[in-house]
């Protein structure tokens, strides 16, 4: 039996209730039915753009059909989904299955409202460990990734050719710096990225931070300072525009499509747009300082099962989750959501059979890392906010990289104890 007490502070629930009241959804927002024999199982996901009758909605229902039940699906935007999940747990009215943004898994797991994969009898032995880690907390695993997206470097092949740069020669920071210098000498811009003062800024900085060997538990390490100094040097040297401070990832892409930039840091979600660009594009993995692929943060959702009062429901829940996480299911998810990379070797091989041009993205995901990995759990959002604040401070010239990161570490340690 899965039984545990929920640990959500009253103040947090009150705040979430106010936020949740503003949330929109695509269908009624009821939680799990009280009886395993009801024939209806509830499913929440963050895809309101995929309406009833869409390929995605039909696929979810097909897994219900295979288990002999009807799935009642509700879709929220990503932030509202986490809030609603916590509120539903407080009211003992959780849905049977939730598809949730991976950094939020530990937030829910820490409250005691999520079943572990062991409790459900789910086999996760084939899931890539670096991806599964985003759903782990205190040695327990709380879900299965349905796929992952991540970051890499898109390049403008015409700009690089004019500068005499072979993209295959870019294997570390030194060779990337050399390429940026050559591009700059032709009058084009070197690189654009997002250093926004939101999670997008941290998301885009982490490959350089981790690629230098830095750890999120020590924001002011020499390695962290080296990574921020790299970005600062690009802005000061004119290789990157001052607009990176206000760029969202969408803005980064708009800049890249002007044809003025050699490189743009962006994700798998731009694969189709890159193919339609008015110039030839390519993609390489983000380089680590001393060579090889840097660990980029993973995006994408986990499928989790909230704790239910009626434990007889778990057998059908397990069947639904297993249906969604077959090798074929992973590939279907990949194709539905603009190339989520499957989290298993078998799924990745199957995807590459259909789309061999995604090989770089498969390599990037194989080297990727969850933001809440290293057992950071709910400490990550606090650390991330201090990190993006430091990046903003250094790139704007308000502080040196050293001073900005020292302030970030002091503030993060005060809040998290790390």
Dihedral (CA of 50, 52, 54, 57) sign: positive
User: What is the end-to-end Cα distance of the chain in Å, rounded?
Assistant: 35
Identify the weakest region by mean pLDDT among 2-16, 87-101, 168-182: 2-16
Classify 215 in phi/psi space as left (phi over 0), alpha (psi -120 to 50) or beta: beta
Query: Are 152 and 285 within 8 A, CB to CB?
Result: yes
Pick the closest to residue 165 from 140, 138, 193, 185 (CA basis): 185
In the structure, what pLDDT confidence band is assigned to residue 417 with cuts at 50, 70 and 90?
confident
CATH class as words, domain 10-148+298-366: alpha beta
**Statement: residue 92 has pLDDT above 50:** yes
Q: Which residues contact 53 (CB under 8 A, 6 or more apart)?
A: none
73-95 average pLDDT score: 93
**Tell me, what's the pLDDT at 280?**
98
**Tell me, what's the pLDDT at 367?**
95
Query: What mean pLDDT is reported for the chain?
Result: 90
For residue range 365-406, list pLDDT tens digits in order.
999 999 998 889 889 999 999 999 999 999 999 999 999 999
**Tell me, what's the pLDDT at 79?**
82
**Statement: residue 3 has pLDDT above 90:** no
- pLDDT exceeding 90 applies to what percent of the chain? 84
Nearest-angstrom CA–CA distance, 371 and 381: 9
For residue range 214-259, list pLDDT tens digits in order.
999 999 999 999 999 999 999 999 999 999 999 999 999 999 999 9
Domain boundaries, the chain: 10-148+298-366, 151-296+376-416
Nearest-angstrom CA–CA distance, 349 and 329: 13
**Statement: residue 8 has pLDDT above 80:** no
**Statement: residue 22 has pLDDT above 90:** no
In the structure, what pLDDT confidence band is assigned to residue 37 with cuts at 50, 70 and 90?
low
Burial zone of 31 (CB within 10 Å; 0-12 exposed, 13-18 middle, 19+ buried): buried
**Statement: residue 34 has pLDDT above 50:** no
**Tell me, what's the pLDDT at 36?**
55
pTM of the shown model = 0.87
Nearest-angstrom CA–CA distance, 306 and 8: 14
For residue range 104-158, list pLDDT tens digits in order.
999 999 999 999 999 999 999 999 999 999 999 999 999 999 999 999 999 999 9
Nearest-angstrom CA–CA distance, 302 and 137: 14
Question: In which residue are the tokens 């009150």 written?
Answer: 14
For residue range 197-217, list pLDDT tens digits in order.
999 999 999 999 999 999 999
Nearest-angstrom CA–CA distance, 31 and 95: 4
**Tell me, what's the pLDDT at 188?**
98
For residue range 255-267, list pLDDT tens digits in order.
999 999 999 999 9
User: What values do phi and psi take at 86, rounded to 5?
Assistant: -65, -40
Domain 151-296+376-416 in the same topology as domain 10-148+298-366: yes
**Tell me, what's the pLDDT at 155?**
98
166-194 average pLDDT score: 98
Instruction: Kindly list the strands in the beta sheet with 189-192, ordered across the sheet, starting from the edge strand earlier in the chain.
Output: 189-192, 261-267, 151-156, 281-284
- H-helix or E-strand containing 355? none
CATH topology of domain 151-296+376-416: D-Maltodextrin-Binding Protein; domain 2 (3.40.190)
160-186 average pLDDT score: 98
Q: Tell me 233's DSSP state.
A: H
């Amino acid at each position: 039996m899965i039984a545990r007490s929920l640990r959500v502070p009253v103040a947090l629930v009150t705040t979430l209730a106010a936020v949740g009241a503003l949330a929109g959804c695509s269908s009624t927002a009821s939680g799990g039915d009280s009886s395993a024999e009801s024939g209806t199982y509830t499913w929440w996901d963050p895809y309101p753009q995929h309406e009833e009758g869409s390929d995605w909605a039909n696929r979810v229902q097909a897994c219900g059909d295979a288990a002999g039940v009807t799935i009642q699906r509700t879709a929220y935007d990503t932030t509202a989904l986490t809030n609603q999940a916590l509120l539903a747990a407080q009211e003992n009215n959780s849905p049977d299955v939730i598809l949730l943004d991976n950094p939020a898994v530990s937030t829910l797991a820490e409250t005691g409202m999520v079943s572990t994969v062991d409790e459900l009898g789910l086999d996760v032995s084939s899931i890539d460990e670096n991806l599964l880690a985003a759903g782990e907390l205190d040695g327990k695993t709380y879900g299965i990734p349905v796929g992952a997206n991540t970051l890499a470097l898109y390049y403008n092949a015409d700009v690089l050719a004019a500068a005499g740069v072979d993209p295959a020669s870019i294997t570390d920071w030194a060779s990337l710096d050399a390429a940026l210098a050559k591009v700059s000498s032709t009058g084009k811009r070197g690189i654009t990225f997002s250093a926004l003062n939101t999670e997008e800024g941290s998301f885009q900085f982490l490959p350089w931070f981790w690629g230098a060997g830095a750890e999120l538990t020590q924001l002011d390490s020499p390695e962290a300072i080296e990574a921020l100094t790299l970005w600062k040097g690009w802005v000061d040297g004119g290789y990157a525009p001052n607009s990176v401070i206000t760029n969202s990832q969408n803005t980064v892409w708009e800049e890249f499509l002007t044809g003025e930039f050699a490189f743009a840091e962006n994700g798998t979600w731009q694969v189709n747009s890159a193919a339609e660009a008015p110039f030839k594009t390519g993609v390489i993995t983000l380089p680590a300082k001393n060579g090889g692929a840097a660990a980029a943060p993973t995006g994408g959702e986990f499928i989790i099962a909230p704790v239910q009062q009626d434990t007889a429901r778990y057998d059908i829940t397990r069947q639904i989750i297993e249906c969604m996480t077959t090798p074929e299911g992973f590939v279907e998810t990949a194709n539905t959501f603009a190339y989520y990379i499957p989290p298993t070797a078998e799924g990745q091989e199957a995807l590459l059979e259909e789309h061999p041009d995604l090989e770089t993205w498969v390599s990037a995901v194989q080297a990727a890392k969850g933001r809440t990995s290293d057992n950071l759990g709910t400490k990550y959002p606090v650390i991330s906010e201090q990190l993006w604040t430091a990046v903003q401070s250094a790139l704007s010239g308000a502080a040196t990289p050293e001073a900005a990161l020292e302030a970030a570490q002091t503030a993060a340690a005060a809040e998290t104890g790390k």
